[in-house]
Amino acid sequence: MPHPRNPALYRLTKQLLQKYHKAVRPVHDWTEATTVYLDVFVHAILDVDAQNQKLKTSIWYHEVWVDEFLSWNPSMFDEIREISLPLSDIWAPDIIINEFVEIEGSPDLPYVYVNSSGTIKNSKPIQVVSTCSLETYAFPFDIQNCSLTFSSVLHTVQDVDLAFLRSREDIKHDKKEFLNDSEWELLSVSSTYSILQSGAGDFAQIQFNVVIRRRPLVYVVNLLIPSIFLMLVDLGSFYLPPTCRARIVFKTSVLVGYTVFRVNMSDEMPRSALSTPLIGVFFTVCMAFLVISLFKSILLVRFLHDEWSHGQEWPLLCLRGDADADGPRMDPRAQLAGVPEPPIRRDPQVQPGSLKEVWFQLKSISTYFQTWEQADRKGVKWLALLERLDRLLFQAYAILLGLYTVTLCSLWALWGSS
């Protein structure tokens, strides 16, 4: 079929843009404000950077306003009721996101739809990187609340006003556009309208609060359960005898396991200068208890080793022959402890093998054992003190592990009820 020489769409576009001035706000009465209707659909949570306090979100952004200079009678243009026009050729509101840091990966859509009444619809996807106060204390059961505030850069509320395109309840519970297969789950998108008062004037703004929560299952399997098992193994080491030297080897192995697990856990946990995850705090305290217990076991084994090395020759010294019979004898254990021992001299008239000789030997052995008992009292006191410290560490460790488990269960319950 032959093309018409003067098509209606061409005539309509030429008529609308021929005398159009995009630098002028499109109202006949300049005292009336241009109302821009906003709507946001959260499409996906791309990244949550706790270290830099940034949130990367993919959203669908819609804005609608009325241009009084772009209306026509459809009956004069073959009943055309809606056309597309280049956005660069018409006036557009200067709406920005106040929290944005950078906009990346957002396609540039050059056209907008205009209907016969002058209503303009501008829809576009945006990947926005915005600042957000991220709280990681309850990791991995954390819930984040980040806001996206839309407002005009230069136009006050007397020139450009904002309004909601849909009801607030529909915006809050609408999740059909959200890709629900990532680490984060969308809970709600609440919205509020407010007037920002400043020295330059009053500005209308609409704030969308995006509430998301983390799916913790992968962190429960990879972090929480192994950390609890490692703490239970360390707790079981307290059942080894305090004087057992293998306890030091066991605790050292557990400390190496703690260190390796802590290094691997640091890659999984979010890093933030504002708050430290609770699991990291508990794990550091448990490592401190382990180091204290290991240091106490080393002191105990060292003390017992010194006692054993000094006391292993005592029976030999007690039963020596006549080499030292004529001179005073002093127990080395007594010398070490500073306990004086009365010298025992043998009567030169006593015949070897007689009853008096036996009596002198028995009296010497009795004196040695009495001196040994006096010198051991100091060691027994230290041993009892270290054993009390060991029981105290065990009780504190058990309470800490119980508190850690109860806290994690409570955080999980709060996460589930949100």
Q: What is the pTM of this model?
A: 0.72
**What type of residue is 320?**
R
At residue 333, the pLDDT reads: 44
| Residue 177 structure tokens | 């556009």
Rounded to 5°, angle at Cα 292 from 309 and 397: 125
Average pLDDT of the chain to the nearest whole number: 80
Q: What is the mean pLDDT of residues 21-42?
A: 92
The 3-state DSSP class for residue 361 equals helix
105 φψ region: left (φ > 0), alpha (ψ -120 to 50), beta (else): left
Q: Which pLDDT band, with edges at 50, 70 and 90, does 288 fall under?
A: confident
CATH architecture of 9-214: Distorted Sandwich (2.70)
Q: What is the mean pLDDT of residues 245-267?
A: 81
| Residue 317 reports pLDDT greater than 50 | no
Question: Residue 408: enclosing H or E segment and its boundaries?
Answer: helix 355-417
| Residue 120 reports pLDDT greater than 80 | yes
Dmax over CA atoms of the chain, in Å, equals 154
Counted residue by residue, the chain has a size of 418
| Residue 376 structure tokens | 């051991």
| Residue 309 reports pLDDT greater than 60 | no
Question: Residue 57, Cβ neighbours under 10 Å: how many?
Answer: 24
Q: Determine whether domain 215-311+369-417 maps to CATH 1.10.20.140.
A: no
The 3-state DSSP class for residue 272 equals coil
Residue spans per domain, the chain: 9-214, 215-311+369-417
Question: Residue 189, Cβ neighbours under 10 Å: how many?
Answer: 22
Q: Which residues pair with residue 86 across a beta bridge? A: 111
| Burial class for 320, CB neighbours closer than 10 Å (0-12, 13-18, 19+) | exposed
Distance CA 261, CA 372 (A): 48
